[in-house]
Amino acid sequence: MVGSVSGRYLLLVFVLVITVGPFLWQISTSLKGPDENIFAFPPQWIPEQPTLANYLAVAGVLPLGQYLLNSTFVAGVSTLTNVLFGSMAGYALARMRFRGRATIFALMIATLVIPFEVIMISVFVVTRGLGLMNTLTGALLPLAVTVLSVFIMRQAFVKLPAEVEEAAFVDGASEWQTFWKVAMPSARGSLAVVAIFSFMFAWDDFLWPLIVLRDPDKFTLTVGLVFLDGQFSADQRLIAAGTIIAILPVLALFVALQRYFFRGVGQAAVKG
């Protein structure tokens, strides 16, 4: 048994090295000074002249600060809209009976089989028609509410016992008050899942902002990083610092709210 336990740890450490190694190498590169040879052979894992100058340069000198703001705006607003609109639609589908509900539900399920990549040309045509090309609003709106958010919230509200609602109704609460003050607080866990995944989805998105944003000062972080990486003068130390900065917000969320991430993967998988 002892042999199999240590064998297991050996395997775990092996996978750990493969998983963490690339991140560590990136961090190492991002901390190397301007006079240090980043192509040194053999590679230098510990920077000889460790410095945070690359981070300062990337946030201040390069337009990365602007990219950060743009990404924060797009991801922040899309989190709010997914939480709010997703809950409202999920609540109607879960708790209200009306003609056409089955049709709406079927239409939403249908969208799950058609990925964005199939319709991106037409989404571009619509966005241009609305005059939203090269705007952050244009980058945001197609992500503002996803069917997944609606479904996760619908699932949460379906489980709500009917008595709670009826009690609120007897107390004279309107539909909106019941939704806002009774249903929403009871679905906190699902709200967290929707919020986290909407934020992460918008923050990490690349293809759509690449299509819709044209001017470098409008770029989100992902598009901006690839743009900078493509420049001939690209300094790998700065790109490395940029990628680390790009990971940090989502990493912080992950460390703080880990269980919701795992729960969300389960829910997304079942829906997908």
Site pattern 23..52 for other proteins (x: CB under 8 A): x-xx--x---------x-xxx---------
Q: Which stretch binds other proteins (CB under 8 A): 48-56, 62-70, 98-106, 187-195?
A: 98-106
Tell me how far CA of residue 3 lies from CA of 6, 81, 154, in angstroms.
5, 53, 49
Written as six digits, the tokens of 8 are 């297991």
* Residue 159 φ/ψ region, left for φ over 0, alpha for ψ in the -120 to 50 degree band, beta for the rest: alpha
Q: Which stretch binds other proteins (CB under 8 A): 50-58, 61-69, 84-92, 185-193?
A: 84-92
* Residue (128 or 188) nearer to other proteins, CB: 128
Site pattern 160..199 for other proteins (x: CB under 8 A): ---------x-----x---x--------------------
Backbone angles phi, psi at 10, to 5 degrees: -60, -45
Q: Helix or strand or coil: residue 164?
A: helix
Which run of H or of E encompasses 169? helix 162-170
Residue in 11, 56, 158, 167 binding other proteins, rule: CB under 8 A: 11
Q: Which stretch binds other proteins (CB under 8 A): 46-54, 56-64, 186-194, 252-260?
A: 252-260
Q: Which stretch binds other proteins (CB under 8 A): 51-59, 61-69, 186-194, 244-252?
A: 244-252
Angle at 242 between CA 54 and CA 83, to 5 degrees: 145
Residue in 2, 3, 18, 46 binding other proteins, rule: CB under 8 A: 18
Q: In whole angstroms, what is the distance from residue 73 CA to residue 217 CA?
A: 14
